[in-house]
Structures are given as C-alpha cells and as structure tokens.
Structure 1
Amino acid sequence: MCSPEETALLRLEEIFSATLAYTTSLILQPLLEADPESPEPHSQECLHLVQHLHTSAQQLWDVTEQSLRSLGARLHSPSCVGLETLELLCRPDRVVQAHKEYIEAYTDCMVAQTFQKSTKKRSRYWQSQRKALRQLLWLTSEGSMGTALGQALSQPHARHVQQYVLLLLSLRDTLEEHHPAQELVMHAVTLFGDLQSFMRQALDQAEATQALWHTLSSRPRDVLCTPSHRLLQDSYDVPVTVTPLRAERVLLFDDTLVLLQGHNIRTFDLKLVWVDPGEDRCMFHILTPEEEFSFCAMDPQSQAVWQGKVTLAVCQALRGKKDFPVLGSGLESPVSPACRCVAYTFRHEGRLFQATYEGEWYRAKPHGTGTLKWPNGQNHVGDFSQGLEHGFGIRLVPQASEDKFDCYKCHWREGIMCDYGICEYGTDEVYRGYFQEGLRHGFGILDSAPQAPQPFRYTGHWKRGQRNGYGIEEDRDRGERYIGMWQADQRHGPGVVVTQSGVCYQGTFLGDKMVGPGILLCEDDSLYEGTFTRDLTFSGKGKVTFPNGFTLEGAFGSGVGKGLYTQGVLDTAALPPDPSSARKRQLGLGAFPVESRWQGVYGPFRDFVRAGCPGHLQEALLGFDVPSSRQLRRPQEYLCCERSHPEDGAGSTEDTLQELLRHQEPKALQKYLRKALSNSRHPLGKLLRTLMLTFQATYAGIGANKHLQGLAQEEVKQHAHELWAAYRGLLKVALQRNGQTLETEDADTRDFQVHGLLLPLVLPSFYSELFTLYLLLHEREDGLYSQGIANLSLFPDTRLLEFLDVQKHLWPLKDLRLTSNQRHSLVRDKCFLSATECLQKFITTVDPREKLEVLEKTYGEIEATVSRVLGREHKLPMDDLLPLLIYVVSRARIQHLGAEIHLTRDMMDPIHTGGLCDFLLTALESCYEHIQKEDMRLCRLPGRWVSRERW
C-alpha cells in the first residue's frame, strides 16, 4: 500500500505539470509570437532568450511527466512496482539538471530584461492578462507587467522544488532503517536541497545584476548588459581602490572583471586573471597577460571579501560552469590554479600586438606548450617560458608570395633562436645547424634550392650570420669545391680548390680570390709552384715539375690572344724522386691544423658535457625529427610537432649515463661503444653522424681527389680522438653523479684506446670516401699490379713455383700419407690453397687490426703447409718466405691491393710498429712491388702461350 507522502508527490507533480503547460500557453507562446521579424538587435536577442526558455520549460515538462507516470504506476500497482523505481529516486540527477537548465534560462531573460522589453510592445494584450496572472500568483500588490511575467514563471517553480524537499524528507521518515530505498531517498533529498540553494543564489545574482544596469550610464550598460553576466561584487557595496590604475568603480562578474574609468571600460577575462596575495592585509595583486595592478581595501574584512570572490569566480570560470559551491565544487577555501590552458589575443603595442596565443599559461605568462598566431599569417608553435619562446618551436613567416613561407624548426632561448635548428626558407634554401642570438653561429650546412641558377652547398662554420672559419663550399654550376678558411662570407686565408676536371689549386685567398704564391696541380700530375693572378693564371716567378721529373723554372705570364708564355730553364736531367714533391701533391697538409677544422661540431658537445649533461639541453645538442615543412604549412591552423622521444632508442640523459657506468670493462665497453655509435639518437652516435656529413661534404663527389688523401687520413684519426674524448667526458659526468671521480689518462693509454678500440669502430663510417681516395692515389701502381697478376695467372702451379725460385724441397708435391681432402688441397692443382683462401679475407673487413690478423693467419698457413711437407716444424727465413708469399698473393688475386696495404699501414695501431704484423705487412708490400716490376712481365712465359722473344 502506498504512503500518503507518495500520494502527495503524485498530486504535486500533477499540479506542476499543469502549471507548466498553463504558463507556456499563457506567457511563453505569446512572447514568441511578438514581432518575430523585428530587425532591432534587442528584439532578436529577446526572441532568442525566450526560445531558449521555452525549450527548457518543455524539457522540464517532459521530465515531470515521466516522474508523474512512474508515481502513477506505483500507486496503481504498489506490490509490483517498487519505491526505488520512482523517477525522483532512481534518476534524480536528470530531474535536477532539467530544473537547473530552466532556472538558468529564466535568469538569462531576467538579466537581459527580456520581460520588460517584450511587454512594452504589447502592453494592451498583457494588461488584459493581468487578472489571469494574479490568479496564478495570488498577487495582491500592483507592479510592472514585466515583473508579473517573471514572477509567474519563477514562483511556481520555486514552490515546487521546496515541496520536493519537504515531501522527500517526510517519505524518508516513513521508511525503515534498512529499507532498500533509504539511500536513494537521502541522495535525492541532498540533490534537491542543493538545487533549492542554487535557485536562491541564482535569483539573487540575477536580481543584483538587473538592478546594476539602472546605476550605469548608457555606454557601459550597452557594453556590459549581456544575458551571461552575473554580478558577484560591486565596489559601491564594498569599497576598493585599484593602483596604479585609477578606477572609479570595480565590478566583478562571474566571467569578467571590469574597471570603469569615466567612459573608459576595461574588461579582464577571469580565465586569465591570477590572484596574488599581498604582504599588506588590506591589499592583494591581480596579474593579467598585459597588466598588473593591486586592489586596496579599507580593512582586512573588505580585502578578504574581494579576494575570496575574485578567486572563486576565477575557479568557476576555469571550470566552464556557472555552478555555485553548493552544487559540489567543494571550494571552501578556493585557490585558483597557477597553470591554465586558455586562448588570448594581445591588445597592447609591442612584439605580440594582435597576436593570439592559445596554450598553457603560468601566472599570466605563456608557459609550456602553445601556439602564437599573428594576423599577417605568421605562426609559432612550441615551448614557452615566462612569456617568451623557450625550447623547441616551429615558426612560419609568410613571404611576399602567398604560398611562400620561411619555416624555422629550431630551439629558442628567451624568444631568440639558439642552439640547433633547421630553417627552410621561402627561396627553397635549407639551413641545418646552430644559431646564436637568432643568427647562424657555429657549425651549419646551407643548401641552395635544387633549381637555383647557381646551386651550391656550404658545410662549415658561421659567425653572426656569416660564413667564418673553416668551411667547404661546393659550386655545382662551376663544378668546383673550395676547402679552406672564410671571413665575412668570403674566402679568406689558406684554401684549396678542387675542380671536376681534376685541376687543383692551393694558396691564400683574399676577397674570394687567390693571391700571391700558390700551387696548381694538373690532371696529369704536373705541379706548378709560383704566383697567380686573381683569375688563377700564372704570373711571375714559378716552377713546373712534370710527372716524369723534368722541371721548368722561370718567369711566367699571359696576355690576350697570346696564351701562356714563359722564360726560364728546362731541366731534363734524370733525378731521383723527391719526397717533398709527393708531399706537395697532398693538398691542405699544414694549411689547416686537423685539431681546429671542426671545432663547431665538437664545441657544442663539450659545452653539453661541461654543463653536466642536463637533460633539457640534450635535444638542442642532438637535433630532432619533425614533419616536413610542406606538411606543416598546409594546416597552418593546426600546427603540430612530433619530435623523437626517448623510447625511440636514445633514452633519457640519466639512462645514458647510468648505462655508461655498467659498461666500463674492456669487452663490455667495446660492445657499448659499438651500439652507441650506431644509434643516431645517442650523443656519441649523433656526433659521429655529424662528422660523417662533414667528411662526405669534403671528400665525396668532386672532392674524391687523390691529392686530398693525406687531408682525409689525418681527419679520420682526429675524429677517433675526439670521439674518445667525448666518451670520457660523458663517463666523467656519470661518475660525478655517482660520487666518484675519473682517473686521469696518460697519452700512451689514450693512444692505445683510440687506435685499438675506437678507430676500428669509427673507420667503417668514413671508409667508403677514404678508400676511394686511396684507390685514386695508387691507381697507377694497382694497374701495374693487376697486369702482373694477369700474367702470373697463366702459369700452372709447378711452373709458377719454379719461376718464383721456390726451393723444390718446399713444394707440396711429395707422396705423403694424407687424407683425400689434404691430398686435394696440397698435392693436386691448388698448392697452398688454405693460405690463399685465408689471404682473400684481407678485403672482407675494414678493421686494420683484423686485416693484420688475416696476414698472421696466412703466414701461419704457409708455415703449416711447409711443415707438413717437410714432416717437421719449420720456420721460414725471409729468403724462403717472400717467394712463397708472392705465390699466394698471385693466386689470391686481391684487387686494389696497393690501396688496401697503404690504408692498413696508415690506420693500424702504432703498437704493431716493429712487430710481426709490421714485418708481414712489409713483406706483403714487397710482394706487391715485386709483381709490378717490369722485368716480371718480360720474363719467360709458357711456350704454348707466348715466347720471351715476342716480348
């Protein structure tokens, strides 16, 4: 059986439903029909507000009808329908939300004075409805028709919610303590009690806001009178002064702080207002993006009122709700968050004038990640700190052409580009490198547009936006490369020019021209030493050394139509080779100290280590991965940047340093260094890749010139030294963080680690370009060697052994007690097959140490074969070893053996000098030279192929 309280609830819902339907037809429908086509802005605004109120009333009626149906079902079948199925109990949130939306729509109309404005136009009609309104409201006093309409729409609603609370409390008292619906009823009582408080506060604020408009002059009223505003505090009620601004009146709305100064109205969005308590108990400070000022009250109580209400209003504005504390915000002592994410357009003159910032803020300054957009199309997205671009950021700067932008993907420091960056200009030029104070500074690479009339690439050092220091420029149009010093964007100081035709120059440059004495190397290896004109023609005293050793020394000159002429002495005497002449043919040696060539690459790494490897500087050191500029420029409104993160292989700085500590043992260290150098995100790997770029820029393409081999060789060794120093620097920081110190390292230990450990790991990265230079340098000798190998390959094994004067008792041709496999390898056609196959592995590795190990094993195989032939262990003297080694080399047929030998000797660990490996490498070089000799090719060959007389 249902309780009287449930019956009363049913009756309450029936009355309220009927009242809603009556007020809708009596008030809202006529309001909607009043001048719907009126062009006046106020009329359109009123119509929009009434439509919103009508929609809210209809939704509230729907909810009431559903509650009514659930109550009716309960009353007709109390045994079948439980109390917990009532709409008011099972879905009280939905009911409360409908009431809340209705009261918000009503107070919007109230604040905008919608009812007063609407009744003025149809005053006769509404006067005729006054009697009906009085019956609805039980009005006894006379008032305006607008006021009567407002009361008719709000009073029944307020009484209804009040009755909800009373009846639900009575219903709760009738239930047993453990009744299943007890908790539901209590929850509903709490929600409707909060709703009742919300309605009272909402109506009070609306009435205060409505009353405010009558105290303002027309201009402020027109600006501030909007339906969304709710007055929270007025300085007329609680006096406060604003310094240094002299505001006559201060108004705090729920979304805006307003300062009135005569006809001047200054508004501040509360989402961008920070409250900072002052030291004085009667004062607190206000921070906004472009202004700061203080509120001064007459006493601490007034100060507390203003500070508390401003702080509470800021918190509510940031939540995006018009809730009051009674609806669960829980802000007893509100504290506005220091960090926020809001959009704001700057209005004051300055760097950010008219720019819109959208992103994170901290205490009234852009701080964190955000986007700046200027009206002219300029955009900046990235990291900010204290109002300035700070950290990684991408900036697009429009050019004169609408579809052209300069795209800066750089690191910024206090609003200025610094550290590493990539700039793609509207001219299609691209710069990758370092900046300082917004200018190119340090190491960087500048590429011209691919379709430029004079395409070029500069790889080198910059100073305050200009090429300065050591650098490489490739002029693809002229087919030449300049390697040398720069100053103020011009070639200045010692330099080398390598041309595509094979002609090379070395000298001193001034104002982009070579002046004074210099060197010219022709394609045929002719060497000129003397003075030049600015257009690189011979002028004055000089000396020409021809490839055959002849020299021409005298005075050189040229003229229009006369060509080159000289007056001097031609020396055709056969002279022994001059070692200094070979060194002169290696350009750049001594002109550019290898230690100072690439300081712009090493410098940032040293600074990073010197600073203690801070994590926030790691990306600025390493660079970053960003989407292509085309992808960024297309959706300018949604600029984004997805840079590489630690999980893609590099790890954080702390992880890198900790891993260093775990890999200090020799074997573990080698494995760690190999992994680090192959990782493009590891500090050492990034450093190596940058050095690879400089190496390729110098020695690949046009730079693949044999006269640069010495320059390249010493550069590779220097890079190995610098990478070892970089590793030691990281290790020192790691140990210091762990409370330890790094032991000092003497020169011998350092050289041992560099040549024995690091150089073999580094060499593969430069091997392609480096080996090409060795090939070109030893091309002639390798050609003679190849011809000698071709001639020796015509000999069968026994004839070749005989020809090489190998003593017959060392030949592996005796009838030995061998297995079938051994007999095949030692007796039949292939003599010393195991040694030959071993030597062929000489070209399968780029590691000089492994190449020397191959030589040792080859020597061991030769001695082992001879020992098996002799039946006893036998050590070969040099007279016996050299012919056998020539035999093995001729059968191994290693291509470009001269280049391989010289590269191995230049790059091998000095610890091997004077040892067995050095001896074997010298023996291999002797074989190489022996095979090249002219008499070797003129010797007797097998009669069935060719006779000696024919040669």
Structure 2
Amino acid sequence: MCSPEEGALLRQEEVFSTTLARINTLVLQPLLLTTPEPSDPRDRECLRLLQQLHRSSQQLWEVTEESLHSLRERLRHPDSVGLESLLLLRNADHVLQVHMEYFESYTSCVVVQAFQKAAKRRSEYWRGQRKTLWQLLSGMGSEGSMGTALVQVLRQPLAHHLQQYVLLLLSLGDTIGEHHPARELVVHAATLFGNLQSFMRQALDQAVATQALWHTLGSRLRDMLCIPAHRLLQDSKDIPVTVAPLRAERVLLFDDALVLLQGHNVHTFDLKLLWVDPGQDEYTFHLLTPEEEFSFCTKDPQSQAVWQWKVTQAVCQALRGKKDFPVLGAGLELPEPPACRCGAYTFRGEGRLCQATYEGEWCQGRPHGKGTLKWPDGRNHVGNFCQGLEHGFGIHLVPQVCEDKFDCYKCHWWEGSMCGYGICEYSTDEVYKGYFQAGLRHGFGVLESTPQAPQPCRYTGHWEQGQRSGYGVKEDRDRGERYVGMWQADQRHGPGVVVTQAGVCYQGAFQADKMVGPGILLSEDDSLYEGTFTRDLTPMGKGKITFPNGFTLEGSFDSGTGSGLHTQGVLDTGALPPDPSSTCKRQLGLGAFPVESRWQGVYGPFRDFVRAGCPGDLQEALLGFHVQSSKVLRKSQEYLCCERTHPEDGTGSIEDILEEVLRHREPKALQQYLGKALSNSLHPLGKLLRTLMLTFQATYAGVGANKHLQGMAQEEVKQHARELWVAYRGLLQVALQRKGQTLEDEDVETRDLQVHGLVLPLVLPSFHSELFTLYLLLHEREDSLYSQGITNLSLFPDTKLLEFLEVQKHLWPLKDLTLTTNQRYSLVRDKCFLSATECLQKIITTMDPREKLEVLEKTYGEIEATVSRVLGREHKLPMDDLLPLLIYVAARARIQHLGAEIHLIRDMMDPIHTGGLYDFLLTALESCYEHIQKEDMRLHRFPGCWEPREAW
C-alpha cells in the first residue's frame, strides 16, 4: 500500500512539472528572443546568462519528470516497487545538484539585472503578458514592475516546491516507522532539501545585496566590478574597517575576491592567494598577498570578529571552489584555510618579477613548492621555489633573438641563483655540465661545443666565478691539439702540457694564454728540443735539440722568411747513443701537477656532502641528474616539468644507502657491495666514479693518447682509487654517527692495503681502455721486437724450440727420445707444456693486476707439474731451468703486447707483493720478454732454423 504522502508527492511533482513547462514557454523562451544578437558586451553577457538559465531549467524539468515517473511506477505497483525506488530518495544528491545549478544560474541573472534588461528590450511583449505572469504568481506576490514579476516568477515556484518537498518528506518519514528499510533515505532527502532552502535564502540575499551594491558605485567602478560570479559578503559601509597602509576608502568582500577602493584606484586580491594572520590584539588582523601585506583595524572586537570570520570563511570557500553547504552559521568555530595552496598570479610591482606570472604552489603569500614562472618576454622557469625564490631543481629558458632559440638551464638553485650541479644548453649549441655558485660556473664542469661549431672545442676542468681557473683540459679540435694544465681568468696560466694530433708534445709555462720562458718539445720521432717556442710550437730563440741517435744541436733557431727551420749553432755528433728511456719514455706533467690537486673540483663537493651529514635534499644537487632532451622542452612549454631520474630510482634514498653501508662491512660483503655501488651510475660512489672516468677520457683519449702522458694517467688511476676509498669511509662515518657510533681512525698502511687490494681492482676496468692504450704506445718499440721474436720462434717445432732454448733434455715431456724425427714430431706437436700455455693465455682475460699475477703463478705451477710428471717425482725448478721453459711457454702462448701487460701489472700491483713470489715470477716473465725481443739476432747463428716446421 502507498501512503497518502506519496500521493501528495505525485501531485506536487505534476504541478511543478507543468509550472516549469509554462515558465519555459511563457518566460524563458521569450527572454531569449533577441534578434539580432546584442552588440554591447554587457548585453551579450546577459544573453549568455539567460541561455544558461534556460539550460538549467530544462535539466530541472527533466529530473522532475524522472521523479514523477518513479512515483507513478510506485503507485501502480506498490507490492513490487519499493519506496526506495523513488528518485527523490535513491538519488537525492543528484536531484539536489540540479536544483542548485538552476538557482546559481538564476542568482547570476539577478546580480547583473538580466531580467530587467531583457524586459526592456521587449517591453511591448511583456506588457501583453502581464496578466499571464501574475497568474503564475497567484498568491505569491504583489503587483509591481515587469522586472520584479520576472524575478519572482522564476524563483517563487521553486521555493514553494522545495517547501512542499520538505513537509511531505518529513511527514512520510513519520508514517513509515523507524525500522523501515527506506527510513534513512527519507530522512537524508528531507535534510538535504531543508538545507537547500537555507542555502537558497542566503544565496538570494547575497545576490540582491550585490545587485544593490552597483547602484552605490560610479559607472567606471561598476563596469570594472559588475561580474556575474561576484557575490557581496561584506561591505565596510555596514561595518567600518580601516586598512593600513593602503588607507582604502571602502572595502568590499566578495566570495572570490577582496576589493579595496581608493579614489579611482581599485585593488583586487584573489581570495585563493589571501592569507589571514590573526593580529596581536582583538581590534586588528593581518592579510598577506603575493606582493603586499596590510592590516584590518576595527573600532570594536565584535566588528573585528565579523570581518575576520567572513574573510576566513570566504577564503576557505574559494579554495574549495564552492560555497558551504549546508550554510555555516556565524557562531561556528572559525575555519582554518591551509597555509600551502595552489594558484596563479601576475606580479605588478617593480623588480625582477614585474609582469611575470607564477602558477603553482604557495605558502604564506610566497611561491613555495613546485611551480612555473613566466615573463612576457618569453623567459620561463619551472621547478621548486622557497619563500618566493627559485630553490631546488629548476629549468630556466631564456629566449634569444634568433627564432626558436633558447638558452636552457637545467640546474639546482639556491635562494634565486644557480647553485650546485646543472646542465646548460645554450642557443649557440654549446653545452655546460657542471657546478654553479651564485649563478656562475664554479667548481668542476665541462663546456663543449658541437663539431659543427666555427671553432669546436671542449673544456673539462675547474671554474671560478664563471671563468676557467685551476686545473683543466681543453681540446681544440680545429687546431688538433689538447692543453692539459693550469688556468686563470679564462686563460692558460701556469705550467701546462700541449699534445697535438701529429704526436708533438710540449711542456712549459704559460702566462695570459701565451708561452713564456723555456720549455720541452718532444716530436713524434722522439727528438727532444729544450728552449723557447712560438705559439705554433716552432723552436724560436735559444735552444737545444737532442736527436734519437744521440746527436745534439745547440744554438739559436728561427723559422726564417722561407720554409723550414733556420739555426746557428753547434752540432755535436760525438755523443754516445742515448738510453731509449731518456727520450722515448720521457714522461711529462709529473712534477708540474701534483696528482692530489688535479681534480679537487670533483672530490670537493662529495667531501662537503659527507661533512654536512649527507642531507637528502642535497643528494641530487651533488650527484647530478638524468633529464630528457631540451629539444623536447623547447617544443612545448607544457612539458617543462621534465621527468628526470632521481637518485632514489634504483638505489634508494640516502638513508637506505647508509643502511646498506652498515650492513656490508665484513670483507667479503664489502667487496661485493663496493662492486655493486661502483657499477651503479645512480649510487653516490658510482656517480663519483663516472665523473672521474669523464675527466680521464677528456685527458687521455683521442688527441691525449700520447705515450708521454702515461705516467700522469697511472698516477691518476691510483689517486682515484684512494679518493673512492675515502669517499666510502666518509659514508660509513656518517652512517655510524646516525647510530651514535664513531669510526676508528685508519692508519696509512691499512688504507693502502684496502686501496690496492680492494678498490683498485674494482675501478681499474673503468680506466683500462685509455690507460692500456698509453702503455701500448709507450712500449710500442719493445712490443714490435717481441712480436717479431714470437713470429720467428713460431717457425720451430716443439723439440727444436726446446733445443734452441737450451732446455735440458731430461725435462722434455717426450715419451721416447729414440723415436724417429717424424714419429717424435707426430707425438709431441703442439702438446708440450700445453696446460701451462693455455693457463698463461688467460692473463689477458682479466684487468685485475692480482688476478693476472695469480694466472702467472698457476702457469708456473703447471710448468713444475709437467716437469714433475716427466721426472716421476716432485721437482722444484731453479731459475736457470725455469727461465728457458717460461720462454717456451710464452712463445707458444703468443700473447699480444706482452710488454704493455707486464708494465701495467708492475705499476698497478699491490706493494705488499714487492720482493715476494709474485714479484719473482713477474721478473722472470720480464726476462722472458726481453729474451724473445733478442731472438731475431740469435737466429742468425743458426742458419738451419729458418726451414719450415714441416721439414723437421
């Protein structure tokens, strides 16, 4: 059974639906008939509002019809269709929203007097419709103007309808009982529509007050402030207030803006970017805006409370984007708007932000958090802000005169200036990657131009106050030379080394970018010149040339007017041939640039980071970042918030890293941890290693691959290993300090043991390619003789080679020495000491000096094991027997560049092995290497040895 209240709801919906249809036909559609479209902007705005009201009315009629349909279904089938099926109950929130949208459209029309203006445009029509309109308002209004009639006819039916809704729903709730399944729905709907009644009354009061406000303002102010969205909440004419220091004559609080009138000047403040700060007394409170701060003072505490509460409430509503529902009362607790918000603002005051628009996060009236700052001239900054200044990671674009050309700065910022690591791509196609301080390049950095640039070059090194200063490497691709040395004020200044593509090397002093005083010049054929030069490295003035054959030429040199070199001096041909190491292996730069001071710009920031306790917010500024190409950024301003790889991606936060450091302190675990950390480009240690690799390649790869720089390179690799161990110890110290523990001091002996035994083998592969190339170049002559010796020895069959090397026959691994030559050859061909040969060949499969020495030790063990099997007893080989056997194994192993391998092992091996077994075995291998180099000369004493191996 259906209740009488449901029947009353049905009749109410039928009446309301009919009323809405009549209003649409008789009122709304005629209001929209304005042909042609008004030319005045204000009239066009009125037309837009009426069109919006018409759409809202249509939606309200449609939802009323849906509600009517659900009521009819309920009355037809009361047994099968439950009460909860009624649209008013099951979808009360949607019905409420449609009513609110209609009333919002209606009040917007009221604010700008759209009904009155429309009535004037068709006054004759409305005079004929006067009687019809008052019939729609029967019993609800009184005689008045047509504008008044239109205002009431579009509001009163809705107000009456809502009143009936509430009464009927409350009555329905009383009749169904407390335990009815639909009771909660009925109570909820009655509460919603009751609140809607209060909301409509308040909204109408605000709209009427706002409409009345326009009549109190002059035409100029009215044109500026008369906006449909505005709703007047408070006027200082009603409750006086004094504003300092602006001295406003009138204060208007709208629901979206605070307006201060000062003569003909209008100061408008967006409520979303307005912060309320309670004052020190009960008469005053303060307001913060992006550019100004002012105080509101009242005559009594009650007025102050009203103004502060209304401003605060308005700010909260503006931030939420909607009015309070249900309506908040004045006695409720004062709301607290969030200190941090999002919004957009265009700065108008003088200064660096003049006319700039900031959109993003704010806090207490200042840009704070992530945001975008745009200037009218095209400058653009996207990133983090702190108290109004660029602070943290940010991307800054500066447009250039050329179309579509920008300087793009992807950097870390500190209080408005670039500070920390950054990548800057300039419109000239130059790119700088490195550190900044106070907006200038400062510390370690790399500046590189494109190969297509007029003067392509690359500088890797240190900067001070935007200029190259300190130790650095510059590659001049146009001249085909590289400078390694000291800089000052953007010029070469101090000791330096120049290497050219032609293989010429110079070491000397520079002052103001010019060579000064005497220097050393090494040519590709190892001729040595000591004296003064021109900028093109041509001998000029007094000097001395030492030729590879030992001859010397000392005197005065001049390029002359023609080609060639002119000299006046003394040629000495009586000197003995020099030791090849005096010229061929002369090393440059060792005394000029102490290895400890070369790359302080790389080590320094890491030390500062550790000294500060490894703060997480500085981790990225220290280590750099990966960022998408600026070409993408320049295509669209929308993608300026680049997606860059953060340090925590793949490695964890700095806290996680420090925890890992603590968990891996045992020797085996430490070795695995360091290997993993150094191989990870996002780990602090891995990032440091990759930066060091960059400096190494910049110095010693390409043009810098010169044999005379091998000593410098070897020093640097060892120094990098020491610094990486110090860096690890620094992380460990911070990790222990956070746990309230201390790190024991490490003596020099322990440090060196860890550096050579643990760190150096882990980092050497990162530098091996460039370093080994320098060893190859330095020992090219010896390796060439060695290769020729190997080629000659490979012509021998095994037995003849053993005989030639004077290996004692009882040590030969042959089954029966009485066999014929052909039988013996068939039996032992390529089998003598095969295990030792295969073992020695593994020396090139690793870059770790210790592992290479272990290979050598195993090779020695395989030789002794083979000899012991031949003799049938354990046998220890003396040096006289070991050396020819080792020569045999080395000859059969055919290891390329054995000299470079031996010297690399000797230079990089752990000092603890000096004088031990490894040192002895390496010395023996060196002797083999030297013997093989001389075999070409010895073979001339054996004319039969040149016969092919197959003839033996």
Length-normalised TM-score, structure 1: 0.96
Q: Say if 2:444 is the partner of 1:404.
A: no
* Alpha-carbon spacing, 1:776–1:825, altered in 2? closer, same or farther (3 Å): farther
Aligned mates of 1:533, 1:97 — CA distance in 2:
88
Establish whether residue 731 from structure 1 lines up as the match of residue 714 from structure 2: no
The Cα of 1:814 is off from its aligned counterpart by 4.6
User: Could you tell me which residue of structure 2 aligns to residue 280 of structure 1?
Assistant: 281
* 1:353, distance to aligned residue in structure 2 (A): 1.6
Partner of 1:43: 43
Q: Superposition pairs for residues 283-432 of structure 1, below 5 Å? A: 283-326=284-327, 332-432=333-433
**Aligned mates of 1:641, 1:824 — CA distance in 2:** 72
1:358-388 CA deviation, whole Å, 9 max, x = no partner? 1111111111111112222221111111111
Aligned to 2:118: 118
Q: How does 1:315-714 map to 2 (within 5 A)?
A: 315-326=316-327, 332-561=333-562, 563-573=564-574, 575=576, 577=578, 581-582=582-583, 585-646=586-647, 648-714=649-715
State the 1:573 CA deviation.
3.3
Residue of structure 1 equivalent to 2:134:
134
What is the letter of the counterpart of residue 942 of structure 1?
G
Is residue 2:26 matched to residue 1:29? no
Per the alignment, residue 159 of structure 2 pairs with 158
Deviations 1:21-57 (A, max 9, x none): 2233332222222455332223222222222222222
**What is the alpha-carbon distance in structure 2 between the residues aligned to residue 650 and residue 140 of structure 1?**
75
Query: Which residue of structure 1 aligns with residue 222 of structure 2?
Result: 221
The change in CA–CA distance for 1:854 and 1:143 in structure 2 (over 3 A counts) is same
Other-structure match for 1:813: 814
How far does the alpha carbon of each residue in 1:809-834 deviate from its partner, in whole angstroms, 9 at most, with x for none?
22222559xxxxxx999966521111
What is the Cα deviation at residue 449 of structure 1?
Answer: 2.4
**Matches of residues 140-151 of structure 1 in structure 2 within 5 Å?**
141-151=142-152
For the structure 1 residues 528 and 329, does the alpha-carbon distance in structure 2 shift closer, same or farther, using more than 3 Å as the test? farther
User: Which stretch of structure 1 is more off in the superposition, 349-358 or 114-123?
Assistant: 114-123
Whether contact under 8 Å (2:472, 2:486) holds in the other structure is: yes
Check the 8 A contact 2:707/2:774 in 1, yes or no.
yes
Q: Distance in 1 between matches of 2:742 and 2:23?
A: 86
Q: How far apart in 2 are the matches of 1:740 and 1:824?
A: 71
User: Are residues 800 and 134 of structure 1, via their aligned partners in 2, closer, same or farther at CA, if it must alter by over 3 Å?
Assistant: closer
1:295-350 Cα distance to aligned partner (Å, 9 max, x none): 11222221111111111111111111234443999985311111111122222222
Higher alpha-carbon deviation: 31-40 or 444-453: 31-40
- Kept in 1, the 8 Å contact 2:585–2:707? The answer is no
For 2:93, the equivalent position in structure 1 comes to: 93
SS in 2 for 1:469: strand
Give the whole-Å Cα distance in 1 for the aligned partners of 2:616 and 2:452.
Answer: 40
**Residue of structure 1 aligned with 2:941, choices 939, 943, 951:** 939
The verdict on how the C-alpha distance between 1:584 and 1:569 changes in structure 2, with shifts beyond 3 A counting, is: farther
Does structure 2 retain, via aligned residues, the 8 Å contact 1:795–1:942? no
SS in 2 for 1:648: coil
Question: Quick one: distance in 1 between partners of 2:646 and 2:158?
Answer: 58
Matched residue SS, 1:420: strand
Cα distance between partner residues in 1 of 2:551 and 2:202:
109
Q: Does the C-alpha gap of structure 1 residues 118 and 283 become closer, same or farther in structure 2, counting only changes over 3 Å? A: same
State yes or no: 1:58 paired with 2:58.
yes
From the superposition, tell whether residues 164 and 575 of structure 1 become closer, same or farther in structure 2 (CA, over 3 Å): same
Structure 1 Cα separation of the partners of residues 331 and 938 of structure 2: 102
- For the Cα contact (< 8 Å) 2:484–2:699, is it kept in 1? yes
SS in 2 for 1:588: coil
Distance 1:339 1:665 in 2: 47
Greater alpha carbon shift after TM alignment, 491-500 vs 142-151: 142-151
Distance across 2 between alignment mates of 1:344 and 1:330: 33
1:357 deviates by 1.3
**How do 1:879-894 and structure 2 match up within 5 A?**
879-894=880-895
Give the Cα–Cα distance (whole angstroms) in 2 for the partners of residues 620 and 583 of structure 1: 45
Instruction: Give deviations 1:672-723, integer Å, cap 9, x for gaps.
Output: 1111110000111111111111111111111111111111111111111111
Counterpart residue type for residue 509 of structure 1 = F
What is the alpha-carbon distance in structure 2 between the residues aligned to residue 140 and residue 539 of structure 1?
112
Please name the residue that 1:107 is paired with: 107
User: Structure 2 matches for 1:711-860, cutoff 5 A?
Assistant: 711-814=712-815, 829-860=830-861
What is the letter of the counterpart of residue 926 of structure 1?
Answer: S
Match of 1:290, SS state, is coil
CA positional deviation for 1:90:
2.0
Q: Which runs of 5+ in 1 are unaligned?
A: 817-822
Q: Give the C-alpha shift of residue 142 in structure 1.
A: 4.3
State the alpha-carbon separation in 2 of the partners of residues 658 and 193 from structure 1. 60
Mean CA deviation greater in 140-149 or 686-695: 140-149
Distance (whole Å) between structure 2 residues aligned to residue 247 and residue 432 of structure 1: 52
Question: In terms of mean alpha carbon deviation, does 234-243 or 567-576 score higher?
Answer: 567-576
Q: How far apart are 1:139 and its partner, in Å? A: 6.4
Counterpart CA distance in 1 for 2:897 and 2:807 is 26
1:635 to 1:946, Cα distance in 2 relative to 1, 3 A: closer
Q: Do the aligned partners of 2:939 and 2:945 also contact (CA within 8 Å) in 1?
A: no
Give the C-alpha shift of residue 571 in structure 1: 2.9
Look up the SS of the partner of 2:16 in the other structure. helix
Q: 1:634 to 1:330 in 2, by over 3 A?
A: farther
5+ long unaligned stretches in structure 2 = 818-823
Deviation for aligned residue 1:944 = 6.6
Q: For the Cα contact (< 8 Å) 2:841–2:893, is it kept in 1? A: yes
Paired-residue identity, %: 79
For 1:730 and 1:331, the matched residues in 2 are separated by: 54
Where 1:794 maps in the other structure, the secondary structure is coil
Q: Which residue identity lines up with residue 478 of structure 1 in the other structure?
A: R
Offset of residue 946 of structure 1: 8.4
Mark the CA change 1:278 to 1:364 in structure 2 (over 3 Å): closer, same or farther. Answer: same
1:880/1:212 CA distance change after superposition, 3 Å:
same
1:650 and 1:682 in contact (8 A); partners too: yes
Per-residue deviation, 1:109: 1.0
Give the distance between the partners of 1:825 and 1:609, measured in 2 at CA.
68
Q: CA deviation at 1:541?
A: 3.0
**d(CA) in 2 for partners of 1:536, 1:88:** 96
TM-score calculated relative to the size of structure 2: 0.95
Q: How far apart, in 2, do the equivalents of 1:720 and 1:14 lie? A: 89
Distance 1:560 1:117, change over 3 A: same
Give SS of 2:155's match: helix
Letter in 2 for 1:153: L
Change (3 A) 1:296 1:826: farther
Give the stretch that moved more between structures: 421-430 or 373-382. 373-382
Q: What is the distance in 2 between the residues matched to 1:323 and 1:275? A: 19
Matches within 5 A, 1:233-252: 233-252=234-253
Per the TM alignment, residue 94 of structure 1 is displaced from its structure 2 partner at its CA by: 2.2
> Cα distance 1:807–1:247, how it changes in 2: closer, same or farther (>3 A)?
same
Partner SS for 1:664: coil
Mapped to 2, the partners of 1:476 and 1:855 lie a distance apart of: 43
Give the structure 1 partner of residue 820 of structure 2.
none
Distance 1:567 1:350 in 2: 69
Distance 1:929 1:574 in 2: 26
Partner Cα separation in structure 1 for residue 196 and residue 64 of structure 2: 16
Q: Give secondary structure in 2 for the equivalent of 1:942.
A: helix
Contact 2:494 2:509 in 1 (8 A): yes
CA contact (8 A) 1:238 1:302 kept: yes
SS in structure 1 at match of 2:404:
coil
CA distance in 2: counterparts of 1:32 and 1:186, whole angstroms: 39
2:332 and 2:620 mapped to 1: Cα distance? 41
- Three-state SS of the structure 1 residue aligned to 2:358 is strand
Q: Bigger CA drift: 657-666 or 344-353?
A: 344-353
Q: Secondary structure at the match of 1:39?
A: coil
Structure-2 change in CA distance of 1:673 and 1:411 (3 Å): same
